[in-house]
Amino acid sequence: MSQENAHSVTVDVETEYVEAQSSPDANHYVFAYTITIRNTGTEAARLLNRHWIITDANGKVQEVNGEGVVGEQPYLRPGENFRYTSGTMIGTPVGSMQGSYEMMADDGVFFNAEIAPFSLATPYTLH
């Protein structure tokens, strides 16, 4: 079994604009994102840390590093998934996020689960 197959995690993202918490007049745009982390490898692994890069339409970048997600460090056996919802605020109606989760497999190998860039956009701003 190759290492590639042993340590594999996929990340799916859904986003939503939170109009009730946003104040466009004050350049305050709130977005919720729901993440599904799925262990597609053959080795169980724990999510240790997160790293996010959040960029607004003006190029302002926020970096977020921390332990776990939503106060947890989920342990995923092969085939299992973990789903959570969190949020972020940016100063423009459109932006993007990307990042990675630092994982540690049961065999002691550390690896990153990459989170591909995804859009944050208020309704009707992206066509």
DSSP assignment of 92-120? SSEEEEEEEEEEEETTS-EEEEEEEEEEE
Say how many C-beta atoms besides its own lie within 10 A of residue 107's C-beta. Answer: 11
**For position 1, what pLDDT does the model report?**
40
CATH class belonging to 3-120? mainly beta
Q: What is the pLDDT of residue 2?
A: 46
Q: What is the pLDDT of residue 124?
A: 80
pLDDT (0 to 100) of residue 115: 97
pLDDT computed for residue 99 by the predictor: 98
Comparing C-alpha atoms, which of 65, 66, 52 is closest to residue 95? 52
What does the domain layout of the chain look like in residue ranges? 3-120
Which stretches of the chain score pLDDT less than 70? 1-4, 125-127
Half-sphere exposure of 82 (CA within 13 A, CB side): 18
Residue type, 116: A
The pair of three-digit structure tokens given for residue 70, joined into one six-digit string: 């939503």
91 CB burial (10 A radius; 0-12, 13-18, 19+): middle
The per-residue pLDDT for 6 is 93
pLDDT at 16: 97
Q: For the whole model, what pTM was predicted?
A: 0.91
